[in-house]
A and B are shown apart, each in its own frame.
Chain A
């Protein structure tokens, strides 16, 4: 109060901007608070609290009714580690990530290298490859279930036309998970292709042109210029791909429900089947905690190691 009066009566010419700056500063703070509070509240309410709750529940044997009271310590985790079905789920999740990285991303990159150029019908091709990504996952699952169906589906039509015995891919314990992977690759390569196209279009033309003038082949340009120049995008798409792979659920559930005989479970479908469907919320939470730790561990270390300079 006194300071304000002093500044008012005192140095008149510099008074105004100084005050304004101060006001703006506090304004900014107020603005920040006003805009952050809703987001922070939501984040705490819907992200932090559920994570904390899941961690808490994972220490109980609890069917989801009432409050958890039967504290079992780390028994849920112990059981989880001993379950064959969980080992299979981990293995399948690993397979999904592996094939995403060695099939899906290279396929997306290859198509992006072609489709980032300008020629007639390029937009049509891009949309065509992007289309599966737009489809809802459950719808995709149902469509492919029909494709694989050996009795009435597309597979039946093909084996019929060839005059061979019907094939039931989804009923085969060895093949079911690969059938799921085929669908995953089909569904998501277009997304990564789009990321790469966006990256490739940002490459200055003169770099590519000068290489062409120097007589570099298409492959040399792709390998020596284009791919290194979109390395940040590739790192990002690998990141998405791995994180997405860890969380696959809808497709598996609508295609195989983890079957036959738990052979195609992913970590998340395992959680749903053995936690939610069996009313073992404590056990399910333990799976959730394991998955959370893996995801967070991966996300942080990947960013630290590979995305440092981006």
Chain B
């Protein structure tokens, strides 16, 4: 009985012919924002229409679940063929363990030339490429023009950290919540500390800490970053209960017009829509964005940027079709379309002409002029030390640690990981 069944299926398989033999491409993502997912579904359908033998399967996990489960998923035989990444230390650990596919041979040539070299280099490790970037983004202050008007704060006046502190004080006086943030997720708060560290110490301080020079992450610029952050924290700038709020809750507060600012990445434009009570978010003419202010006397530049070079990695053992699909989604045509819709800023040359969306234009200009683009620390430093950065940033915001302790904790974690 069993034999006949298996024979039958074998025969069916033989006669099905190459046209029907489906190759599955498992595509693991973490997008929850409508327009982005819609575009991804179009890409999937478009590729399948052109390649009849390929079945692209989109798999979704929310960001936190994604981070928790990916390690285990990669060890199994049905590991995703293409999966989301922020590059950095996590990617390097995955490559070291042999869970990524070396696609250098595919990338070389026209595909490679289509990217901005700086962005693509984030996907290079030990001389090999394991994936490609799709999006470059930047963190800064999203703000609500109407609330700025109400409190009589001119956004143009916020050039330095002290200006920001003054603005926060004005909002408090006017009875407006100055800033929304998601303390339960912790990473929204690490934008403050790491941005301040970058402004104060610049690239040099970060590189020196990575190289283990001097006091490492316990050095003066990192302590100063904590001190400047505490200056903000003592003004109580965040919405009530921010320590229990996740990023989506905070985006909801901002999208509902209940807070004047939110320090977030480019993607928040969509998060504040999808998490708002009315599902619409702030009206386009009230929504605006400005870069993180400079710190007086800091060694960094006002034009240094902090953000992601996010993209896709190819899992070990993935079929060639997965690489073809990756080439398809990051093709200049498709990325031009994404840019034209304002979904993100592709890390590619020759996109500025299609970018009409005012926000994307602003990001593209800032990123093109960037003197130093630092990847999110919690990704760049690897999952273990990265999360310690998130922890201490949250502890600073909650007033349960000191700037010195915070810096020392990061240094301890770093030296433990790298001993």
Contacts and interface: CB of A to CB of B under 8 A. Distances in A.
Interface stretch (B13-21, B66-74, B261-269): B66-74
A171 B97 contact: no
Contact of B241 (A151, A272, A276, A280): A151
Given A150-B241, A261-B400, A66 B416 contact: no
B71 A280 contact: no
A280 B413 CA distance: 12
Contacts of B102: none
Interface string A162-183: 0001101011110010000000
Contact of A66 (B72, B98, B382, B417): B98
Contacts of A277: 67-68, 383, 387
Interface stretch (B126-134, B165-173, B242-250): B242-250
Interface stretch (B286-294, B295-303, B342-350, B391-399): B391-399
Interface of chain B, main secondary structure: helix
A173 B398 contact: yes
Contact of A65 (B93, B240, B394, B417): B93
Interface stretch (A209-217, A226-234, A252-260): A252-260
A168 B184 CA distance: 13
Interface string B57-98: 000000000011001101100000000000000100110111
Interface in B388-419: 391, 394-395, 398, 400, 416-417
Nearest to B184: A259
A56 to B, nearest CB: 17
Range of interface residues on A (Cβ < 8 Å) = 20 to 34
B384 interface: yes
Nearest to A281: B71
A1 to B, nearest CB: 39
B99 interface: yes
A140 B109 CA distance: 54
A50 interface: no
B184 A79 contact: no
Interface string A42-76: 00000000000000000001011110000000000
A262 B398 CA distance: 11
Interface residues of B, number: 35
A238 interface: no
Contacts of A279: 71, 90, 93, 382-384
Interface string B108-149: 000000000000000000000000000000000000000000
Given A63-B93, A64-B71, A171-B242, A260 B398 contact: yes
Contacts of B384: 63, 278-280
A170 B93 contact: no
Q: Which 9 A-B pairs have the closest CB atoms?
A: A65-B97, A168-B241, A260-B243, A171-B244, A170-B244, A171-B241, A171-B243, A279-B383, A66-B97
Interface of B: 67-68, 71-72, 74-75, 90, 93-94, 96-99, 183-184, 186, 240-245, 249, 253, 382-384, 387, 391, 394-395, 398, 400, 416-417
26 contacts: A63-B93, A64-B72, A64-B75, A65-B97, A66-B98, A148-B244, A150-B241, A151-B240, A151-B253, A166-B240, A170-B241, A171-B244, A173-B398, A259-B183, A259-B244, A260-B243, A260-B244, A261-B391, A261-B394, A261-B395, A262-B391, A277-B67, A277-B383, A278-B387, A279-B90, A279-B383
